Amino acid sequence: MKAPAPRVLMVGTALEGRGGVAAVVSVLRRHGLFERESVRYVATHRDGTPLVKARGALSGFWQTLVTCLRGRPAVVHVHAASHASFLRKSLVLLIARLAGCKTIFHLHGGGFRTFATEEAGGLLRRWIRHTLEASSLVITLSEGWAQFVHAFAPRARVAVVPNAVPLPDLPAQDAAIPGRVLFLGRLEAAKGIHELLEAGARVVRETRGPSPLRLAFGGEGDAQDLRRRAAELGIAERIELLGWIGPAERDAELRKAAVFCLPSHAEGLPMSMLEAMAARKAVVATHVGGIPETLRDGDNGLLVPPRDEQALARALARLLGDTALRDRLAERARATIEQQYSTEVVCGKLSAIYRELAGTRR
């Protein structure tokens, strides 16, 4: 039997991938958005060798072209970040516009501002602006990113839709290990891992008596560099390198964490932070991207300036040394996710957008 024509064609990275976009889309699919809105998903990027990536891109472009010409989806919704991701998705959007489809550019990635305003040359900058303004709608993850898009591409139509986060069941008893600080993300300088190591070393030095501090790093990247720097700082025995971990392992690590820390230099709205908040964990993060709109300093988490290991050390020491504060922030973090970032709320917003663009109401 021939599959029914999709109402929405969604384009992004392969869902078995390990990035934030794959996590975001997987949440939407598990919650039933694809069935409810007749969404077909096409991947234009796969992890692997250059040949695997090239084949994935070509296959994605071909599937997009065939679907747009034969299936005539009402809406083509692309998830895009910077550099090659933007270039792939801008071509997808061009195909969709030529086929007469309404289009959504869904902006992810904390580096897009730098990419668009500093790294891109004049011709590419004009193409970025044209792509944003020619889209039927640009979705950003926060008001701050919406303001950037309005300034960079004044004729773009923008809506704010945060990432959706499933609400895990909470354990009956607290399983957190005292002193355990969890980081989830790519092991690279831009994620603030060096500042976290330096802050951890400072906490150990300044703690009276034995310090229980342990730093657990979950993610792929330059583990050798992280080990080397930890040894230089004298805390090699206090770090754990978990490698990339899947959803089940992530949930288990969150349960064991006393504090979650993400000291990034730039961000959109990181899924790992939202997942930690949903798991009822006290969070320390940096005042970048869309984070401050979600994490309010002293209310549902602690915020520190990026690249400031001293401020980071103070925040970690404060949380690790104050159980009542840690518990209060964790409860407020969970409540924030329940009220503003649940899958029900976000999927409802996306459904309303699809129906408006398609000219239908239900």
Q: Dump pLDDT digits (tens) for 66-93.
A: 999 888 899 999 999 999 999 999 999 9
Domain ranges of the chain: 8-164+342-358, 180-341
Contact 8, 37 (CB under 8 A): yes
Element (H, E) at 40: strand 39-45
The secondary element (H helix, E strand) that includes residue 215 is strand 214-218
pLDDT at 1 > cutoff 80 = no
10 Å Cβ neighbour count for 362? 7
pLDDT(2) > 70:
no
Task: State the fold for domain 180-341.
Answer: Rossmann fold (3.40.50)
The span from the CA of 266 to the CA of 50, in Å, is 27
Q: Is the pLDDT of residue 361 over 70?
A: no
Read off the pLDDT of each residue in 249-256 and give the average, rounded to a whole number: 93
Half-sphere exposure of 197 (CA within 13 A, CB side): 25
- 180-341: same fold as 8-164+342-358? yes
- The Cα 21–Cα 143 span in angstroms is 19
| pLDDT tens string 314-345 | 999 999 999 999 999 999 999 999 988 888 88
As a whole number, mean pLDDT of residues 211-224 equals 93
Backbone angles phi, psi at 75, to 5 degrees: -135, 135
Q: What is the largest CA-CA distance in the chain?
A: 71
Report residue 116 CA to chain centroid gap.
19
Residue 362's pLDDT band, with cuts at 50, 70 and 90, is very low
Q: In this structure, which topology does domain 8-164+342-358 adopt according to CATH? A: Rossmann fold (3.40.50)
Beta bridge partners, 140, equal: 160
Name which of 129-133, 240-244, 270-274, 357-361 the model is least confident about: 357-361
Record the tokens describing residue 102, joined without a space: 């309404």
- Other beta carbons within 10 angstroms of residue 48's beta carbon come to 13
Distance CA 244, CA 260 (A): 16
Q: CA torsion, points 193, 199, 201, 206, in degrees to nearest 10?
A: -170
* Cα–Cα distance for residue pair 292/303, rounded to 1 Å: 8
Pairing of strands 8-13, 39-45: parallel
Q: Please give the DSSP secondary-structure letter assigned to residue 81.
A: -
- Could you give the CA distance from residue 343 to residue 339 in angstroms, rounded to a whole number? 10
Categorize the per-residue pLDDT at 360 as very low, low, confident or very high, splitting at 50, 70 and 90: low
**What is the chain's mean pLDDT, rounded?**
92
> Which pTM value belongs to this model?
0.81
**H or E stretch covering 254:** helix 247-256
Q: Are 112 and 82 in contact (CB under 8 A)?
A: yes
> 281: closest CA among 333, 342, 320?
333
